[in-house]
Amino acid sequence: MSGLVVRVILSPDVVTMTERELSDEIRAVTTMARLQALAGQHVVIANLMQSLGQDGAATESFLHRELHLPAPVLVEQRRAVMFA
């Protein structure tokens, strides 16, 4: 639950990658994982605010502008492009 990485399993294909390629791949995957976690926070807060009767559009604006939380649909689009 702490977010500590305990184990990483690499594909046998990594032996054909340069150090730079592997580094770029790891960076891309970890960036995507971070964005997905932030989008999860976005969902939780948006649902909580909705249950408190807050305006959806104002909440979305606040989450993006003030908390810099990406909308889940945008993260999914970026993920689709990344893994296409």
The pTM is what?
0.81
> d(Cα 47, Cα 67) in Å, to the nearest integer?
15
What residues does each domain of the chain span? 21-82
pLDDT (mean) for 50-61: 96
Angle at 44 between CA 40 and CA 49, to 5 degrees: 145
Helical H segments across the chain, by residue range: 19-51, 56-65, 72-82
Percent of the chain's residues with pLDDT above 90: 64
User: Over the chain, what is the mean pLDDT?
Assistant: 90
> d(Cα 55, Cα 40) in Å, to the nearest integer?
19
